[in-house]
Chain A
Amino acid sequence: MVKLKWIALGLLGLLALCLGGCAKQRADITVMDNFIQDDTLGECFNAPALRFDALLEAWKDGHPDIELDEKKRAGSGDISALAVLGADHLPDVFMASPTLGRLLVEKGLVLDLSDYIPVQERVEPFVYGGAAYAFPATAPSFSVVIHEGDFPDTWTALYARRYKVAWGGNITDLLSPAMAANGAQAWFDHMIAADKECTFLNDDIMEAIVDATEMRDSGLLVEMTADEAILAFINRKYCAVVLNEESVYRLIDQLDSERRKLLRFSVFPSIAGEKNTPIGVPYGFFINARLAEDAGKLALCVELCRHLMQAAGADRGDDEALERLDNFIRQAKPCRNCAYYLSSEVWSPLKNTQLPPIETAVKMQNCYDQYYLGVEDFSEQMDLYYEEK
């Protein structure tokens, strides 16, 4: 009986804890960022997050009468999860990718900031239908091959040497260079510029998708998580590794100065021969659509966004490898990293390893149509493909 009493008390305590936690009042302004901070790593990796913290503190010092509730280091998944619940549940200011931003715009959950962002300051991925929706929060991302000086620079050479590369990215890292090499980027740009108008079947993009799938299926790229790829490179299990921006800095941070000196950066060669570096887009600061009703608060949020934008230029430190990386990125022949323009349903067919290239291309094309044309039911298009009409 005594035990039961303690259990009942414990349960009540737990409930009280939950109830207490949930009864919190909303602050004047709520902010949510998703910079990643890893205390086990150094300045090279954590610089943007630390700079963001410093900027936020400075802003709070300058506005002592405003209560700022910050949910720092939230994952991007948080925003998409809260979006399900509606604008009342989203923070006032938050970071999101352009892809998610587009979806939030469609659902009317974020504010049109065209009146607050001059035309010359607008960043392309956050402009939907001619209106600007976000301030850039991070530097554009990229995807590179890191090696120590021995990396074949053509697909044929890679193939001939059976050169295995640890691959800690995703298929869109391959798709972007393939699209650029096959001339599909022009089609892709046109499609975005025309805003939801695209050619139904395009051979360039088919070719690019087939190339990317073929590269993935070649066995030369050994697919693993970014962390595993980093570890494999550090332990010299692989001589080269394909990583995206965040993982590149994570890797550099974990290497000693001697190994850093050896680091070289390259483009992953596409089958079609051209060397394009996939350059992505920044994350942006969006403002909750709810603030349209409160001009004063909106002005404060815009000011806050402008202030926090400086975090993108955080100094990652003075290092030979970092300098080499900066030069590489500056001189790179950029191609759009289409991952940022496509929601998950568009590029997920590419992840399905059981699909052959052509079928992947067909599915991908359907997803494009679904995404850009807003076609909900694409059975008609499928009928066209399979000529069952």
Chain B
Amino acid sequence: MTGSSVLRHAKRASGIIWFVLFVFSYSVCYLHNTILVGSPQLSFFDPYIYYCVDLARLFACLCLIVNFCSQWGKVDSKRLISVYLFKLAVLTGLILYMHFGVEDHKTPPLLLMLFFALSADEQDENRLFSTGFGLGAAYTAILFILAMLGLMENNRGTAFGFQYRDNLGCYMLCLSLFYCILRDGWLTWLGELALLALPFVCLKCNDSKTAFVCGLILAACTMYRHYGRIGGAPYQDRDRFGPVIPLLFSVIYCPIALVKGAVERLKLRRGKGALRFFIRNGYILCGGLFILATATYRQFSPLWEKIPGIGTILSRFNLGQLGFEQFPVRWFGNQIPQIGLGGNEAAQPLYFVFDSSYIKTLLQYGALIFIVVIVLMTWTQYRLQKHHRYYVSFLLFLFALDSTMEFQLTNFVYNLFILLAFCKYSDKPGVEACERKSLLPTGKARRIALAGAFTALLAVLVLWCATAWQVSNWRGYTPHYAATVVVPGAYMDEVKSEALHRPRLTRAMRYLNSHKDARCIVDNEQDRDWLVAQAVDADRIAVAPATSVDEMLLNASTFMAENDFPPRLTVCTYAIQQARVQRHARALYIPVNSLTMNMPFGLHLANFTAEQWRLLWSS
């Protein structure tokens, strides 16, 4: 076997191992980023991330040697040597960092990101991003389903398995960036609609304002590029796309056409060079400006306080400034105890977290890592622009912008962009491909599957919105809502407290007075007389004798049906009784009570659906 064939085999083997290790590490890092970290069920999985780091470190060295040998003689040797010297310096720095630097549970994803970036020479861009996008989308979908079914913690209702809901917003932005890189921005009509909808999902569901802004810019610029390339709104051929899509896209592209017109009229294209320079150095500018703003920020200063809607930025400035005051910038970082909110944003009165990637990297990981990351990202930008990949360079700039507010610059799961520093760039589909792809021949089975998927999605959305509306509007004790209020006198015998007699009836009286459609069920004549004496109409009160609270509650639904009372139930007792009512109510499928229960969203949805069917059937 000749030397060159050994090298070829080594290159091939290292490429395969690199890719397998990449997939495994990405999966482990993804899990590490979710609510599953540290959970008893998955604690056995935690050490794997450290195995990944060790393997990646060893393998990065090996890959560097193999890649260097295989490229020797094929490219300019001076350039090759300088690039590999740079890589070697970075690698040495990282190995030094592993020994002298601070370590927390967020360090392994950072190190993995850098090791993989340095050794990705022989990897194909499309394969990397399709893998990243595929794994990320699949895992997120699985987490979403598990969270919806209540099998996994769903912090704040919309984190869907992530620790914080804005992390999910950030990740969705990153996934859309991965996809745009994969398609080089030439999306199908469905892709463009999804890209447009995504920022609003990030804002409404995940409360991620930065992802919203970056997502909007992404959608606008992608569409602007599309418009510019074909000289008008796309998907306008009525013979091919039918009547709805052309109309929809003409409306959506209206603002784009206006902007395009303004750019042409004002001859703004002349500033293209400056814009490219700005984008190219986006990481230095964003990092530098954010650090500068943090250093010069003064709390309560009118300059900042008068700008509306920037409270989140100001809190980041403030914490960053405290960080700079308390910790020096060191080469290998500082051990900074950081306490977040644990996902629920209510449990922690003390809070100290650097959310901005730039501040976090500089203070926590140190100047060495800060310089390495910024240099690598800027290098990537230069390389992309050198290959005329201006659109992708712009996407990386958006990531730089998002990183000012979020932590993801140093996280392997989010920052796959750094792999573009050395990997092989792939051919991309042109603008024609996206129109062609939009018109793939649709067979009968495909049409049925698509229609089914759309219907299911629509049904879920309608149910979700309806449930959300119901949760927020059908609570007991609101003026818009009328229910049958049950006042069990037997409760006082059970808890042996006569002191509750009056407040319980007072509450019922107030409720009946403020809800004109509300009705009441009591279990003895005295209580009814008391209520009548308080100016409650007698025909709004029914007496249902019962010897226990349970009996009264079980009879309540029959009573409500017989007397044509509102079919929703609320009870004038206190917490323990309320809990018991809710359990009964759950069995009876009474919506207001099922909705007031602290149950997982999936169960909620199932309950709601069952209730809708029951009402539909009975009507």
A residues lining the B interface (CB < 8 Å): 3, 7, 10-11, 14-15, 17-19, 21-23, 36-40, 73-75, 77-78, 80-86, 89, 99-100, 103, 159, 201, 203, 206-207, 210, 213-214, 217-219, 271, 343-345, 348-349, 353-354, 356-359, 361-362, 365, 384-387
Instruction: Give chain A nearest CB distance to B572 CB in angstroms.
Output: 10
Given contacts A17-B295, A18-B295, A345-B349, contact A77 B315 (CB under 8 A): yes
By a CB distance below 8 angstroms, the chain A residues around B339 are 84
Nearest CB of A to B511, in Å: 9
What are some 27 contacts across the A-B interface (CB < 8 A)?
A: A3-B277, A7-B281, A11-B284, A14-B291, A15-B329, A18-B329, A22-B328, A40-B306, A78-B318, A83-B350, A84-B350, A85-B336, A85-B337, A85-B352, A99-B349, A100-B349, A103-B350, A159-B514, A201-B574, A203-B497, A219-B478, A344-B349, A345-B347, A345-B348, A356-B475, A357-B475, A358-B596
Q: Which residues on the A side are within 8 Å of B352 (C-beta)?
A: 81-82, 84-85
Chain B min CB distance to A300 (Å): 22
A73 with B514, Cβ < 8 A, contacts A10-B288, A81-B322, A81-B350 known: no
- Given known pairs A77-B318, A203-B574, A384-B576, the reply for A40 and B596 (CB within 8 Å) is no
- B203 beta carbon closer than 8 Å to chain A: no
Please report the C-alpha to C-alpha distance between residue A213 and residue B475 in the assembled complex, in whole angstroms. Answer: 11
Interface contact B596-A22, CB-CB below 8 Å: no
Cβ of B533 within 8 Å of any chain A Cβ, yes or no, is no
Which chain B residues lie closer than 8 Å to A100 at the CB level?
349
Interface residues of B in 336-363 (CB under 8 A from A): 336-339, 346-352, 362
Is B500 positioned at the interface, with any CB of A under 8 Å from its CB? yes
> Which residue of chain B has its CB nearest to the CB of A13?
B288
Choose from A74, A201, A385 the contact partner of B299 (Cβ within 8 Å): A74
Whether the pair A217, B337 counts as a contact (CB closer than 8 A) is no
Complexed CA–CA distance, A354 and B500 (Å): 27
> Which residues on B are within 8 Å of A, measured CB to CB?
157, 277, 281, 284, 288, 291-292, 295, 298-300, 302, 305-306, 315, 318-319, 322, 324-329, 336-339, 346-352, 362, 367, 371, 374, 378, 471-472, 475-480, 497, 499-500, 503, 507, 510, 514, 574-576, 578-580, 583, 596, 598
Taking a contact as CB atoms under 8 Å apart, the answer to whether B479 and A84 are in contact is no
Instruction: Give complex CA distance A348, B346 in Å.
Output: 6
Contact assessment for B477 and A213 in the assembled complex, using a CB-CB cutoff below 8 Å: yes
Query: Which residues of A sit under 8 angstroms from B503, Cβ to Cβ?
Result: 203, 207
B294: nearest chain-A partner, CB-CB = A18
Q: Given contacts A85-B337, A218-B479, A358-B575, are A21 and B295 in contact (CB under 8 A)?
A: yes
Nearest A residue to B280 by beta-carbon distance? A3
In the assembled complex, how far is the CB of residue A105 from the closest CB belonging to chain B, in whole angstroms?
Answer: 13
The answer to whether A358 and B578 have CB atoms under 8 Å apart is yes
Contact B329 A38 (CB under 8 A): no
Q: Is the CB of A80 within 8 A of B576?
A: no
The smallest C-beta distance from A266 to any residue of chain B, in angstroms, reads 22
Q: Measured between alpha carbons, how far is A40 from B302 in the docked complex, in Å?
A: 8
Complex contact A18–B291 (CB within 8 A): yes
Q: Which residues of B contact A207 (CB under 8 A)?
A: 503, 507
- How far is the CB of A19 from the nearest CB of chain B, in Å? 5
